Chain A
């Protein structure tokens, strides 16, 4: 049962909104109905599940802010139905809407929207004051929320004394203190500078792990969308162009508009090991012995193989030279030849975490699941491909993509390490070919 549901929702601002909706339904475009009014949202249909972070992404003017304002009834849809739990927001009375806002849905604003004349404590406690919570209880809960966002000790200051990032933490604390299960975030981090923004994103993810709110997050920054969102809806000219996970949107953009966005994104941050891994080759089961291992390597044409248990739990890697030597010495088992020089990566690891392991091994980087079982491998060429620039020209819509992404998490260092390894890599390939030819 979805928490929020939008069914065929339209919002048209202008003189003849209903006529505009009729024509849009009949297939007219955003431009066609301009004389009748501005179609901010056209036929928006989606569900948001409990505990999900649903990101709505689009350029300014794409209708995303209007859409989020319909989710808490600040705007009424011109046509269509929005339901929050059991409540139908298109027909609800103003009084019931206010109660719903106090209990179910709170909001974080782009420019923080704090009350400048009230202290941080009073700002954070504002929703509780509206719920007529008693004063000492109010202060206790607001204090907790401020503590949670790392603003303990700032209670008696005024918003003007805080930096932008801190003010938005107050905005977040205010939204959390209300105790609602749905959190709407309207470009919540867009007004912050890139490093602070990254910090806030991490904090939100961290909080979300413990709180498990249903979040609808609006942004124009695809990196942010991919970083935070379980699912992403891409909006353009009032329509939802595509809804999907970040990987779906990256790998199968629905049209040129989405592809333009995708061209900007730092894929290594978004794509996970699981999405680029291939079926592992050169896998030797522990009981196979040196003979079996060599046969497997010959077939896969590699100089090493993964050694796994029967249930495919990864034990390590065996090298052809070690195995040949052991076979000559008459060994029957492989386990003592295992090298743990390759660090496996988890299936959910972002690509940027795979560069370092990749540099260590001639084999594809082994990918394991939660139980440590080998589920795939990532050849280095896949990583290099993911890093390569996209076919589409980058248009720089998102201002912070390259520098921010690299600086804040030290990706630059890892990327730079790769070319240095390249010659060595080529040697390894050559040696594989040489051994293959030798046989």
Chain B
């Protein structure tokens, strides 16, 4: 339109150039990352699919029974039987492996970063916008460079999942540590605790319920990325979902979707039960005489 201010910033081209440069310069590094992620995923998937399915289902149900009780154990077993019943067992196990690998890596990065951010305001101020960016940028968008760098397959799925699921791990950890009663931290200092010991003996144990809520969120967000992972050609429940979408196959969509839901409920209940078992959470439940 005439009169409109008209100019163009070639931002996209810059990013393109940067990605090209990254791909060529850190080729070796990316290869290593790819190999490691692939090995982790393959190993875990093998462990989940090699034994007869009823053994794995029983084992997972026993975990549920142990952390939460017989009612949840039975529910979990019924859920896994349903997954098998709709013929999604192998896909579900691949997804479980992907989610676990991605979540563990997201936590290994996220929790220390959260601790650092809690202890240093400057780090906190830097990390926050980066996390906002990672969480709000549509996942499909960063899928493009990720696929260019790592090619198709499960690895770009894992990387995209880690990127998306990292934020709550960092945020909840930072929040948890900042919320620890300052007087208790002061007591640690006052009796001469070195910073590392203070972190281990006071800050992390007291922040653990909040950190565990973050762990739960990381896992749930990872699971929500399975469909995206399916787009990159990763094995798992994402693949039948994408397939059902492209062929307008309601039956397959419902079966795969329901399997995701069952897996989600299972992981959510197990992790929240684990956070209830932390020493602080248990201590707080015991009330005054």
Which residues of A are at the interface with B, using a C-beta cutoff of 8 A?
69, 72, 74, 98-102, 105-107, 109-111, 113-117, 126-127, 130-131, 158-163, 174, 178, 184
Contact = CB atoms under 8 A, between A and B. Distances in A.
Contacts of A113: 181, 183-184, 186-187
A160 B283 contact: yes
Contacts of B206: 115-117
Which of B181, B192, B193, B197 has most chain A Cβ within 10 Å? B192
A105 B191 CA distance: 8
Contacts of B205: 115, 117
Contacts of A101: 189-192
A201 B227 CA distance: 66
B198 to A, nearest CB: 10
Interface string B201-218: 110011000000000000
A338 to B, nearest CB: 56
B287 interface: yes
B194 interface: yes
Contacts of B279: 117
B286 interface: yes
A160 B287 CA distance: 6
Interface in B246-289: 279-280, 282-284, 286-289
A130 B189 CA distance: 10
Contacts of A174: 191
29 contacts: A72-B190, A74-B189, A98-B192, A98-B193, A99-B192, A101-B190, A101-B191, A101-B192, A102-B191, A106-B190, A107-B186, A107-B187, A109-B186, A113-B181, A113-B186, A113-B187, A115-B184, A115-B202, A115-B205, A115-B206, A116-B284, A117-B280, A117-B283, A130-B192, A158-B286, A160-B286, A161-B289, A162-B288, A163-B289
B279 to A, nearest CB: 4
Contact of B286 (A105, A126, A161, A163): A161
Which of A100, A102, A116, A127 has most chain B Cβ within 10 Å? A116
Contacts of A110: 183
B187 A109 contact: yes
B183 A116 contact: no
Given A113-B186, A158-B283, 5 more contacts: A109-B187, A113-B181, A114-B187, A117-B282, A162-B288
B191 A116 contact: no
A100 B183 CA distance: 20
B280 A116 contact: yes
Contact of A160 (B181, B190, B288): B288
Contacts of A72: 190
Contacts, number: 78
A116 B202 CA distance: 10
Contacts of B194: 98
A105 B190 CA distance: 8
Contacts of B190: 72, 74, 101, 105-107, 184
Contacts of B183: 109-111, 113
Contacts of A111: 181, 183
Contacts of B289: 161-163
Interface in B145-193: 181, 183-184, 186-187, 189-193
A133 to B, nearest CB: 12
A162 B288 CA distance: 5
Contacts of B186: 69, 74, 107, 109, 113
Given A116-B284, A117-B206, A130 B191 contact: yes
A158 B280 CA distance: 10
A107 B283 CA distance: 24
A236 B184 CA distance: 27
A357 B76 CA distance: 80
B284 A106 contact: no
A120 to B, nearest CB: 12
A163 B286 CA distance: 13
A72 B286 CA distance: 34
A162 B289 CA distance: 6
A75 B288 CA distance: 34
B287 to A, nearest CB: 6
Nearest to A154: B289
Given A113-B181, A162-B288, A163-B288, A106 B283 contact: no
B47 to A, nearest CB: 33
A127 B191 contact: yes
Given A117-B205, A130-B197, A160 B284 contact: yes
Nearest to B184: A113
B192 A127 contact: yes
Given A111-B183, A113-B187, A115-B202, A102 B192 contact: yes
A95 to B, nearest CB: 8
Given A109-B183, A116-B280, A130-B197, A161 B288 contact: yes
Contacts of B181: 111, 113
A102 B197 CA distance: 14
Nearest to A127: B191
Contacts of A74: 186, 189-190
